[in-house]
Amino acid sequence: MNIAVLGTGIVGRTIAARLAELGHNVTIGTRDPEATLARTAPDAMGTPPFAGWAAENPGIAVAGFADAAAGAELIVNATNGNASLDVLAAAGAGNLDGKVILDIANPLDFSKGMPPTLFVKDTDSLGEQIQRTFPASRVVKSLNTLNADLMARPTLLADPGTVFVSGNDADAKNTVTGLLKDFGHDDVIDLGDISTARGTEMLLPVWLRLWGALGTPAFNFKIVR
Amino acid sequence: MNIAVLGTGIVGRTIAARLAELGHNVTIGTRDPEATLARTAPDAMGTPPFAGWAAENPGIAVAGFADAAAGAELIVNATNGNASLDVLAAAGAGNLDGKVILDIANPLDFSKGMPPTLFVKDTDSLGEQIQRTFPASRVVKSLNTLNADLMARPTLLADPGTVFVSGNDADAKNTVTGLLKDFGHDDVIDLGDISTARGTEMLLPVWLRLWGALGTPAFNFKIVR
């Protein structure tokens, strides 16, 4: 499949590399490819400069948001939650029409100190905001409930746990579920329409505190039943 | 231990019966014992009248909130979240001083339709509200993330999953953790101080949607790591 991954942080890089490894034709999208490739210092999260990663992944194209989205059948939103609507607008609504958007972003608000709070929750969600803003796209919320390494390679855990899909379009959820299974996710629960993204986005506060309590992000939620 | 369970709904009844079975001296508290025992119709949730349950559990005393709390070393808040502060005030701040409050309630708001939303979240929690209102008590939030039957008897699931404790007082968390282990909860994660109750209370939205998706409340979160 032709896939655009929007976002060059750890989540975008990890998902892009895993999709390429599985044989997909992947383009990673960024606002200004020249500027992104020219950076030589780690970002605020300590992520190493992008150019080194790009050099190690020569099979993955780097393009502006709109160019990346134009050629893609499926678009992965791997941006920070507070940038997501802006980035998708930069990708161009016309480039999103009819396409599946796998939305991994979380509406984290770091402006009020740590741990972050959520800038939308409970009566709305980032997934719904994206679906409302780009009504001709087919948004599927998933993978926002675990660490990037485990998103892409859940079998790093002996018991990989559960991931969730939320979305209004059954075919789009099937497409995403297929990718999730290819990643190694055996237990995928379809929660229902995109409004159920409220539930999975609201997992972040306990996820962040579990990270603190366990001292590692290498854990996942499993729904035992 | 002398334990007061405040609340005569399904959660209160289930926890009270389980504690009595484990040998504790249990009093179940209600606003007006005579009125509660006189009811002959199921409540709005379809819960059968209390008198039948009380007759089947003759070893469990029934008393007003204050009388129940006065004689207790540990108090279980098994009320509806929107009634919890009022019920604990009726129990009497003096009757709560120094005591462990095991807070199981969730801040569910049913006034805006189904599924319910949360009337406090993200920057505060019901657990914190209770701790602030009764500062001499020792609040431990726990068991609010699963169905009443599984709270009391987690081994009904082949894989019982995880429960969480949040609270400011280490001794109080140890006391509650001891009860949880007696119930059959082998995996208890201490998330930290009472502010971490924000995380577990915010699990409710996905819990409610999982109930819908799975068609049963007989499931639990397990933290695989």
Q: Measured at the alpha carbon of residue B169, what is the angle toward residues B166 and B173, in degrees to the nearest 5? A: 55
Contacts with A, B 84-123, CB within 8 Å: 112, 117-118, 121-123
Q: Place B43 in a pLDDT band, splitting at 50, 70 and 90.
A: confident
Does the pLDDT of residue B27 top 90, yes or no?
yes
Question: How do strand A162-167 and strand A138-141 relate by DSSP bridges?
Answer: antiparallel
Over residues B23-34, mean pLDDT: 98
Question: How do strand A220-224 and strand B2-6 relate by DSSP bridges?
Answer: unpaired
Is the CB of A199 less than 8 angstroms away from the CB of B206? yes
Q: Which long-range contacts (CB under 8 A, 24 or more apart) does A172-181 make?
A: A172/A100, A172/A138, A172/A139, A172/A140, A173/A140, A175/A74, A175/A100, A175/A140, A176/A100, A176/A102, A176/A140, A176/A142, A179/A19, A179/A74, A179/A102, A180/A142, A180/A143
Is the CB of A191 less than 8 angstroms away from the CB of B209? yes
* Residues of B with Cβ-Cβ distance to A208 under 8 angstroms: 199
What is the torsional sign of CA A91, A97, A99, A100? positive
Tell me the shortest Cα–Cα distance from B33 to chain A, in angstroms. 36
pLDDT at A45: 81
Is the CB of B222 less than 8 angstroms away from the CB of A222? yes
Tell me the shortest Cα–Cα distance from B46 to chain A, in angstroms. 24
pLDDT digit string, tens, across residues A61-89: 999 999 999 999 999 999 999 999 999 99
* Residues of B with Cβ-Cβ distance to A207 under 8 angstroms: 199
Over residues B130-146, mean pLDDT: 98
Tell me the shortest Cα–Cα distance from B189 to chain A, in angstroms. 8
CA–CA distance, B81 with B6 (Å, rounded to integer): 12
The verdict on B150 touching A (C-beta cutoff 8 Å) is: no
C-alpha distances out from residue A125 to A107, A146, A161, A167, B208, Å: 8, 18, 24, 12, 16
Q: Place B44 in a pLDDT band, splitting at 50, 70 and 90.
A: confident
CATH classification of B2-214, choosing from 3.40.50.720, 3.40.50.300, 3.90.1150.10, 3.40.50.2300? 3.40.50.720
Tell me the shortest Cα–Cα distance from A48 to chain B, in angstroms. 26
Burial of B173 (0-12, 13-18, 19+ CB in 10 A): buried
For residue A110, which phi and psi values (nearest 5 degrees)?
-90, 0
| Average pLDDT score over chain B | 97
Domain boundaries, chain B: 2-214
Tell me the shortest Cα–Cα distance from A72 to chain B, in angstroms. 31
ipTM score: 0.97
Which of residues A44 and B184 earns the better pLDDT score?
B184
Which amino acid makes up residue A93?
A
Tell me the shortest Cα–Cα distance from A43 to chain B, in angstroms. 27
Over residues B84-110, mean pLDDT: 98
pLDDT at B183: 98
pLDDT digit string, tens, across residues B160-179: 999 999 999 999 999 999 99
Over residues A128-139, mean pLDDT: 98
* Residues of A with Cβ-Cβ distance to B213 under 8 angstroms: 189-192, 196
The verdict on A76 touching B (C-beta cutoff 8 Å) is: no
The Cβ of residue B41 has, within 10 Å, a number of other Cβ atoms equal to 7
Comparing CB atoms, the residue among A203, A212, A213 nearest residue B203 is A203
Does the pLDDT of residue A44 top 90, yes or no?
no
Over residues B61-74, mean pLDDT: 98
Q: Both tokens of residue A204?
A: 């972040």
Does the pLDDT of residue B45 top 90, yes or no?
no
pLDDT digit string, tens, across residues A5-15: 999 999 999 99
* Residues of B with Cβ-Cβ distance to A189 under 8 angstroms: 210, 213-214
Taking CA–CA distances from B122, the nearest residue in chain A reads A117
In this prediction, what percent of chain A has a pLDDT beyond 90? 98
* Residues of B with Cβ-Cβ distance to A160 under 8 angstroms: 224
Does the pLDDT of residue A195 top 90, yes or no?
yes
Taking CA–CA distances from A218, the nearest residue in chain B reads B225
Is the CB of B121 less than 8 angstroms away from the CB of A123? no
Is the CB of A225 less than 8 angstroms away from the CB of B157? yes
Does the pLDDT of residue A221 top 90, yes or no?
yes
Is the CB of B225 less than 8 angstroms away from the CB of A220? yes
CA–CA distance, A205 with B105 (Å, rounded to integer): 18
Burial of A56 (0-12, 13-18, 19+ CB in 10 A): exposed
CB pairs under 8 A between A and B: 121
In whole angstroms, how large is the CA radius of gyration of chain B? 16
The verdict on B200 touching A (C-beta cutoff 8 Å) is: yes
Is the CB of A225 less than 8 angstroms away from the CB of B208? no
Contact A96, A137 (CB under 8 A): yes
| Residues pairing with B224 in the sheet | A220
Over residues A21-37, mean pLDDT: 97
The verdict on A170 touching B (C-beta cutoff 8 Å) is: no
Q: Place A110 in a pLDDT band, splitting at 50, 70 and 90.
A: very high
pLDDT at A57: 98
Comparing CB atoms, the residue among B117, B118, B222 nearest residue A224 is B222
Comparing CB atoms, the residue among A122, A220, A225 nearest residue B219 is A225
Beta strands in chain B (DSSP E): 2-6, 25-30, 61-64, 74-77, 100-103, 108-109, 117-118, 138-141, 162-167, 187-192, 220-224
pLDDT digit string, tens, across residues A169-186: 999 999 999 999 999 999
Contacts of B15 (CB under 8 A, 6+ apart): B5, B76, B78, B104, B143, B148, B151, B152
Is the CB of A121 less than 8 angstroms away from the CB of B122? yes
For residue A27, which phi and psi values (nearest 5 degrees)?
-120, 135
Over residues A132-161, mean pLDDT: 98
Closest CA to B221 of B204, B140, B149: B204
